[in-house]
Amino acid sequence: MERKTILILGGGIGGQVAANALACRLSGRHRIVLVDKHGDFDLSLSFPWLIVGKRTPRDIQRPLGTLLGKGVELVQAEIQRIDPAKREVETSVGPMSFDYLIISLGAELAPEKVPGFQEAALSLYTLEGSVGIQKSLEAFSGGKVVVLISSSPFKCPAAPYEAAFLIRDFLDRRGKSAEVSVFTPESFPMPTAGPKVGEALKTMLEAKGVRFYPNHKVTRIEPDGKTLVFENGKSETCDLLIGVPAHQAPRAVRESGLTNETGWIPVDRGTLTTGDEGVYAIGDVASIPIAGGKALPKAGVFAHGQAEVVATNILAHLEGRGPGARFDGNGWCAIETGGGAAAFGSGDFYAEGGPAVSLHEPSRFWHVGKVLFEKWWLSPLGPKRAALRAVLNLGAKVKGIAVSL
Ligand SMILES: Cc1cc2nc3c(=O)[nH]c(=O)nc-3n(C[C@H](O)[C@H](O)[C@H](O)COP(=O)(O)OP(=O)(O)OC[C@H]3O[C@@H](n4cnc5c(N)ncnc54)[C@H](O)[C@@H]3O)c2cc1C
């Protein structure tokens, strides 16, 4: 059989899972090439722990190569243009051709979209920003802490709330007199998970003493770096500003004309195929409409599930079979609430009447589960993850939880 090239753009969550799932099953029969501009991978789900000193950058960063299975060729390069018609990708180290293409380039942060944000806010969404938050919290003597969500969509709809819970917990333990608030353009937390989950999270925030300000879309931050101005005419001051920057599709994706009016790549919600044969888009860079005029949230758990589906279907195609796997819209998320506890949400985001998601009360169990997941992800197991996942799924079934890792 002719040796084909499967080119994977992006070595984040989706790219790693796709590469390892393919490497595990192809045993060198076809080329798997993964391109990323960074040599290291940062596990962003651990940033909320980093900001309160529970992790160091070393704990949550790995050389990307150590997370990839045997048989994956890693190329460190910047992707500049994608040409599905020519079956070619331009990169900083030259052009690359492909038979199959998996675009998993994630979301690009665009802090410059809110005037003053870059100068005033510490970003929760980068390793450097999270280190800065940790230092500022250590030195914080009291006052107002604001977690500011610039705009939707943003990755991991739970992350800013998780950060607020952990900051509240951190400052309480140090006896600091502080007000912790979340300002967001959303009408309730995690709207893509439905109003019930939103209400439950709001109640949890209130119970922990975190103030919640919905329907607050920031328009600018004044040059004093402390005054936030909102579209609704209100303004607010703060002493420490922690921000979720605006998101957009990476430049190479936008400039290659692959996006639609959403600004992201439209795909079939089951197979993740784009309009071009053998070209798939997964994870944060993809746009998938769901019921209620919303879009599937941008989260690692979806990038992960979609990567598995795409790997399975590419394998089927290579073997002359039709696509058998479909992504079902199921996802889960453990939300740290402080004090060594986490809440847990899981459910079907493709449900016809709108996301059917349930939220379990915070407990130690979910916190430990999240820590184990982190360790599992960062261990150099490569393709063995698939086997481990089967064991964890079995554990979840025994516990009676509808979750697919
Ligand atoms: C603070 C925080 C907490 C989070 N917590 C969770 C959580 O608990 N659960 C969860 O499910 N999700 C969580 N997420 C979201 C999750 O990290 C993302 O949804 C996930 O990483 C998306 O995977 P992806 O493969 O689509 O993109 P990414 O993982 O972002 O990977 C994209 C890759 O593409 C590379 N790239 C981009 N542009 C180029 C280019 N031009 N050339 C070369 N390489 C390029 C990048 O370097 C990157 O490695 C969190 C995110 C943040 C920021």
Given this model, what pLDDT does residue 405 score? 45
Q: Tell me the pLDDT tens digit for each residue of 58-116.
A: 999 999 999 999 999 999 999 999 999 999 999 999 999 999 999 999 999 999 999 99
Pick the last residue of a domain from 246, 264, 296.
Answer: 246
Ligand 1 near 155 CB (within 6 A): yes
Q: Is there a contact between 272 and 306 (Cβ–Cβ < 8 Å)? A: yes
Higher pLDDT pick, 128 / 381: 128
13 & 44 share domain: yes
Given this model, what pLDDT does residue 322 score? 87
Q: 159 CA distance to ligand 1 centroid (A)?
A: 13
Q: Is 205 among the domain residues?
A: yes
Please compute the mean of the pLDDT values over residues 308-318 and round it to a whole number: 97
Pick the last residue of a domain from 308, 327, 346.
Answer: 327
Given this model, what pLDDT does residue 323 score? 82
222 & 255 share domain: no
Given this model, what pLDDT does residue 184 score? 98
276 & 241 share domain: no
Q: Is there a contact between 405 and 392 (Cβ–Cβ < 8 Å)? A: yes
**Rounded to 5°, angle at Cα 215 from 212 and 218:** 95
pTM as predicted: 0.94
Ligand 1 near 104 CB (within 6 A): yes
Q: Give residue 373's pLDDT band: very low, low, confident or very high (50, 70, 90).
A: very high
Q: Is there a contact between 221 and 241 (Cβ–Cβ < 8 Å)? A: yes
Is residue 204 scored above 80 in pLDDT?
yes
Q: Residue 173's domain spans which residues?
A: 110-246
Q: Is 37 among the domain residues?
A: yes
Classified as helix, coil or strand, 205 is helix
Is residue 12 scored above 90 in pLDDT?
yes
Q: Is 65 among the domain residues?
A: yes
Percent helix, strand, coil in the chain (nearest 5)? 35, 30, 35
| Residues 6+ positions from 319 with CB-CB distance below 8 Å | none
What distance in Å separates the CA atoms of residue 46 and residue 338, rounded to the nearest whole number? Answer: 14
- Into how many domains does the chain fold? 2
Q: Is 399 among the domain residues?
A: no
Q: Give me the percent of the chain exceeding a pLDDT of 70.
A: 94
Is residue 404 scored above 50 in pLDDT?
no
132 & 226 share domain: yes
Shortest CA distance to 35 belongs to which of 92, 85, 87? 92
Is residue 401 scored above 60 in pLDDT?
no
Instruction: Report which protein residue has its CA nearest ligand 1's atom 10.
Output: 300
239 & 154 share domain: yes
63 & 142 share domain: no
185 & 227 share domain: yes
46 & 149 share domain: no
We report the CATH number of the domain holding residue 192 as 3.50.50.60
Q: Which of 46, 149, 155 to mutate to test the pocket of ligand 1 (most atoms within 8 A of CB)?
A: 155
139 & 159 share domain: yes
Is residue 304 scored above 90 in pLDDT?
yes
Q: Is there a contact between 347 and 355 (Cβ–Cβ < 8 Å)? A: yes
242 & 256 share domain: no
